[in-house]
DNA sequence: GGCCAGTATGTTTACGTAAACATATAAGTA
DNA sequence: TACTTATATGTTTACGTAAACATACTGGCC
């Protein structure tokens, strides 16, 4: 008996089935003409010796792979869990597979990551946001891969963007809070200001306040990752200042929930003593004792549509280039303002 | 000027730098002897023409890849988000990359997915739980990849398992509830009973009740995905029955939170009228008006350790085979029982 | 001066697959 | 009948890389 220390190849299947390697290839990929008899002989030979195709060889030869690179800023936030879920669902349906990595909101890491992911010769890539370095842009252009940018639409996409206007979300929140009569605001965010989309929301928020003549007393950016506990700490700190705001805008629901916790623990009434607003519309908000005012975002849908776009059969990309798909958002007025 | 429609290869870099392709390969991989002068010439030539290595060719030739296959039941649960986060962190540190897919708690899909992922010739694979079909076991054995099984340790791992005892968690919860004086129980779970780890927790729970002479009135399994709303609906339904329990054990925190919501909305006191317990110890529980009794699990750590194991330099696997790493759990006594 | 070890490079080849091209038989059509 | 066309298979080759195996030049040592 022949000793194999390597995994079976098409040649092994071919020998077993008494055909050529090319015939095996045709059977496996369902291309070209194959008689029923040979097809079944090859199939059973493959099953018998446990043949598993080698995608590396396939990808090398055919110069394309069913891979899609996915670049996310973090997995430490359930937002990106939903996005990744949408991407995975869409890709899986089309027989594609995601390979991914996280940038931790760092441009340098994005550059490195994109370069590394492109070395797998994926057929597409998902990027978060619209801001990317020239290095990344050049690498992507040279690779000739399809690109989907998600989350944000305030800017010019490389190819096609699936998201919502972060600026408009900030604007809508400010407008709502102003309508409730609040005038003195504070902002609380995290990630050392590297979260560009949070920055755009703040920009929209800030501008709307300015236009209304209201005051943004302080912009507080924590260097720690966003969490309820950090939101609680920041809120306590903000409210302890002499220059006390009557409303706080948080960069996301986790921080805002920490704010709610602080207020509940200290008998601070919402919205009478302080108004709060978050962002994302995470499911757990429904279970809180106080309904948080927030902006619900189509997270899963952004991922799903991006995945679908990237796994579509080759279509004319030129007509889509630079276009934006606005999936909108939904301001949910809760009890906190 | 030469027209290239293909991406630059080592040959292109070699030509530009006036060396052989093999020298380029040596520079790129830092193997063998290379003079400083040639090294920098190759480096700048590569940078100038935008060379990006082709991992498909590299993997094909060297018969190994820095890929790790990751098989999870779902991404619709933040539990697996944490796990994936841990895996990704560990792998990234070691220069490995995850390729993943979800099984939706289906064995057939697991078989298919594992086969597909193995076609990328990964150096390792992460599986969820210890129960796998013979097909999957055979495929993995034939592929000769390292295996890490996560979440569960109640059984015999293929190689090494990182998790906690689900049975013990069920037992601990039952013991705690019994100690509070509860005697008439109901169970509420989801995923059509295909979640084997939830089944093990129930098993431990059930057995402990039996040993104590308490009653498990009903086991309710929803076919819908787990969510707070579904937990709320199930709770309403269970409490409306003539045969009313005085305690409900949920398969996870989301369902249990739905139970809390139902009780709060209907003036049902916890734990006087009904005791509740969940599982996972998700962060948002801290913000609920009522502290849920639950079991906190080391989700991130399971992923992290599994990832670390799979990205370790080749060590002797034999000594580890069949071993289990118990990362424990932590019963958190809340206000619901 | 001859020899060895270390350093620095080059040449050939194989990894497993699918594209491109070639061949052959059967069935239909002018 | 000759001539296409559809069907069914085989042969050769290239994808980009790294392993294996050369080759050549240095400097130190007896």
Stretch A289-316: mean pLDDT, rounded? 90
Residue that is written with structure tokens 């509860």 in the block: B182
Question: Mean pLDDT in chain B?
Answer: 92
Region of residue B42 (phi > 0: left; psi between -120 and 50: alpha; otherwise: beta): alpha
Instruction: List, for residues B273-325, the tens digit of each pLDDT value.
Output: 999 999 999 999 999 999 999 999 999 999 999 999 999 866 555 566 778 99
Q: What tokens does B268 get?
A: 């049902």
Stretch A128-154: mean pLDDT, rounded? 94
Q: Identify the pLDDT of residue A53.
A: 95
Sheet containing strand B67-72, strands side by side = A323-326, A160-164, A146-152, A124-128, A67-72, A97-102, B97-102, B67-72, B124-128, B146-152, B160-164, B323-326
CA dist A23 and B290 (Å) reads: 66
Dihedral angle at the C-alpha atoms of B268, B274, B279, B284, nearest 10 degrees? Answer: 20
Query: Per the domain annotation, does B215 fall within a domain?
Result: yes
Closest Cβ–Cβ partner in A7, A52, A118 for B115: A52
Would the Cβ of A175 be found within 7 angstroms of any atom in strand C? no
Claim to verify: residue B108 and residue B174 sit in the same structural domain: no
Residue A20 pLDDT class (50, 70, 90 cuts): very high
Q: Does A169 touch chain B (CB under 8 A)?
A: no
Q: Identify the pLDDT of residue B314.
A: 64
pLDDT for A3 beyond 60: no
Stretch B86-98: mean pLDDT, rounded? 95
Rounded to the nearest angstrom, the gap between the alpha carbon of residue A219 and the centroid of all alpha carbons in its chain is: 26
H or E stretch at B266:
none
User: Residue B194 maps to which CATH number?
Assistant: 3.40.50.2300
Claim to verify: residue A286 and residue A264 sit in the same structural domain: yes
Claim to verify: residue A209 and residue A285 sit in the same structural domain: yes
Q: Give the residue from chain B lying closest to A102, CA to CA.
A: B88
Count of structural domains within chain B: 3
Query: Per the domain annotation, does B332 fall within a domain?
Result: no
For residue B69, the cross-strand partners are: B99, B125
Q: Identify the pLDDT of residue A319.
A: 60
Closest to B101 in 3D by CA, of A89, A72, A283: A89
Stretch B177-200: mean pLDDT, rounded? 91
Closest to B42 in 3D by CA, of B29, B54, B58: B29
> Distance (Å) from CA B8 to C1' D27?
39
Q: What share of chain B has pLDDT > 90, as a percent?
A: 87
Query: Per the domain annotation, does A82 fall within a domain?
Result: yes
Claim to verify: residue A30 and residue A78 sit in the same structural domain: no
Q: Does A142 touch chain B (CB under 8 A)?
A: yes
Claim to verify: residue A184 and residue A279 sit in the same structural domain: yes
CA dist B207 and B170 (Å) reads: 9
Q: Give the residue from chain A lying closest to B64, CA to CA.
A: A56
Instruction: List, for residues B14-62, the tens digit of each pLDDT value.
Output: 999 999 999 999 999 988 899 999 999 999 999 999 999 999 999 999 9
Spell out the residues 6+ positions from residue B307 whose beta carbon is closer than 8 angstroms to its own: B68, B86, B87, B88, B89, B90, B91, B94, B96, B126, B148
Stretch A4-32: mean pLDDT, rounded? 89
H or E stretch at B221:
strand B215-221
Claim to verify: residue A102 and residue A143 sit in the same structural domain: yes
CA distance to partner chain A, nearest, from residue B156 (Å):
24
Closest to B205 in 3D by CA, of B229, B227, B182: B182
Q: Identify the pLDDT of residue B4.
A: 44
User: Residue B49 maps to which CATH number?
Assistant: 1.10.260.40
Query: Per the domain annotation, does B108 fall within a domain?
Result: yes
Claim to verify: residue A175 and residue A276 sit in the same structural domain: yes
Residue A12 pLDDT class (50, 70, 90 cuts): very high
Q: Give the residue from chain A lying closest to B114, CA to CA.
A: A52
Query: Per the domain annotation, does B68 fall within a domain?
Result: yes
pLDDT for A2 beyond 50: no
**Residues of A with Cβ-Cβ distance to B63 under 8 angstroms:** 6
Q: Identify the pLDDT of residue B316.
A: 53
CA distance to partner chain B, nearest, from residue A29 (Å):
14
Domain that holds residue A149: 63-164+299-327
Instruction: List, for residues A51-97, the tens digit of each pLDDT value.
Output: 999 999 999 999 889 999 999 999 988 899 999 999 999 999 999 99
> In terms of DSSP H, where are the helices of chain B?
10-17, 21-29, 36-49, 55-62, 78-93, 107-118, 134-143, 166-179, 196-212, 228-239, 253-265, 299-310
Contact present, B257 and B292 (Cβ < 8 Å): yes
Instruction: List, for residues A143-202, the tens digit of each pLDDT value.
Output: 989 999 999 999 999 999 999 999 999 999 999 999 999 999 999 999 766 889 999 999
Would the Cβ of A22 be found within 7 angstroms of any atom in strand C? yes
Residue B149 pLDDT class (50, 70, 90 cuts): very high
Instruction: List, for residues B210-268, the tens digit of each pLDDT value.
Output: 999 998 999 999 999 899 999 999 999 999 999 999 999 999 999 999 999 999 999 99
**Residues of B with Cβ-Cβ distance to A53 under 8 angstroms:** 119
Q: Identify the pLDDT of residue B26.
A: 94
Stretch A233-242: mean pLDDT, rounded? 95
Claim to verify: residue A171 and residue A153 sit in the same structural domain: no
Mutate one of A281, A287, A303, A307 to test the B interface: name it (highest B CB count within 10 A). A287
Would the Cβ of B33 be found within 7 angstroms of any atom in strand C? yes
Is the bond into A273 cis (omega within 30 degrees of 0)?
Answer: no
Would the Cβ of B65 be found within 7 angstroms of any atom in strand C? no
Pairing of strands A124-128, B330-332: unpaired
Contact present, B292 and B334 (Cβ < 8 Å): yes
Claim to verify: residue B84 and residue B135 sit in the same structural domain: yes
Claim to verify: residue B157 and residue B304 sit in the same structural domain: yes
Pairing of strands B330-332, B294-296: antiparallel
Claim to verify: residue B181 and residue B262 sit in the same structural domain: yes
For residue A216, the cross-strand partners are: A185
Give the nearest nucleotide to A32, CA to C1'. Answer: D8
Mutate one of A120, A121, A256, A334 to test the B interface: name it (highest B CB count within 10 A). A120
B:45-64 residues touching chain A, CB 8 A cutoff = 50, 52-57, 59-60, 63
Query: Per the domain annotation, does B130 fall within a domain?
Result: yes
CA distance to partner chain A, nearest, from residue B212 (Å):
33
Q: Identify the pLDDT of residue B47.
A: 93
Query: Per the domain annotation, does B320 fall within a domain?
Result: yes
Claim to verify: residue B287 and residue B197 sit in the same structural domain: yes
| Cβ <8 Å between A138 and B50 | yes
CA dist A200 and A204 (Å) reads: 6
Query: Per the domain annotation, does A4 fall within a domain?
Result: no
């Amino acid at each position: 008996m022949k000793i194999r220390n390597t995994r079976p190849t098409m040649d092994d299947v071919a020998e077993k089935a008494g055909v050529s390697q090319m015939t095996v290839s045709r059977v496996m990929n369902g291309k070209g003409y194959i008689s029923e008899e040979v097809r079944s002989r090859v199939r059973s030979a493959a099953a018998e010796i446990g043949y598993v195709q080698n995608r590396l060889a396939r990808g090398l030869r055919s110069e394309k792979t069913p891979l899609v690179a996915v670049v996310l800023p973090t997995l430490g936030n359930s937002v990106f869990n939903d996005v990744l879920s949408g991407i995975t669902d869409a890709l899986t349906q089309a027989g594609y597979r995601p390979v991914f990595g996280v940038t931790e909101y760092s441009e340098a890491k994005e550059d490195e990551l994109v370069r590394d992911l492109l070395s797998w010769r994926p057929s597409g890539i998902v990027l978060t946001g619209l801001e990317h370095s020239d290095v990344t842009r050049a690498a992507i252009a040279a690779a000739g891969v399809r690109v989907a940018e998600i989350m944000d639409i305030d800017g010019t996409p490389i190819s096609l963007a699936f998201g919502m206007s972060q600026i408009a979300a900030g604007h809508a929140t400010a407008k709502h809070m102003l309508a409730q009569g609040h005038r003195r605001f504070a902002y609380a965010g995290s990630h050392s200001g590297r979260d560009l989309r949070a920055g755009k929301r703040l920009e929209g928020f800030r501008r709307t306040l300015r236009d209304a003549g209201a005051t943004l007393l302080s912009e507080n950016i924590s260097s720690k990752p966003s969490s309820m506990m950090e939101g609680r700490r920041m809120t306590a700190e903000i409210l302890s200042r002499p220059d006390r705001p009557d409303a706080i805008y948080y960069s996301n629901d986790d921080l805002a929930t920490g704010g709610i916790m602080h207020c509940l623990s200290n008998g601070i009434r919402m919205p009478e003593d302080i108004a709060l607003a978050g962002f994302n519309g995470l499911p757990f908000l429904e279970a809180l004792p106080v309904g948080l005012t927030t902006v619900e975002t189509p997270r899963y849908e952004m991922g799903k549509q991006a995945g679908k776009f990237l796994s579509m059969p080759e279509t004319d990309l030129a007509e889509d280039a630079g276009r934006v798909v606005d999936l909108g958002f939904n301001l949910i007025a809760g009890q906190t303002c």
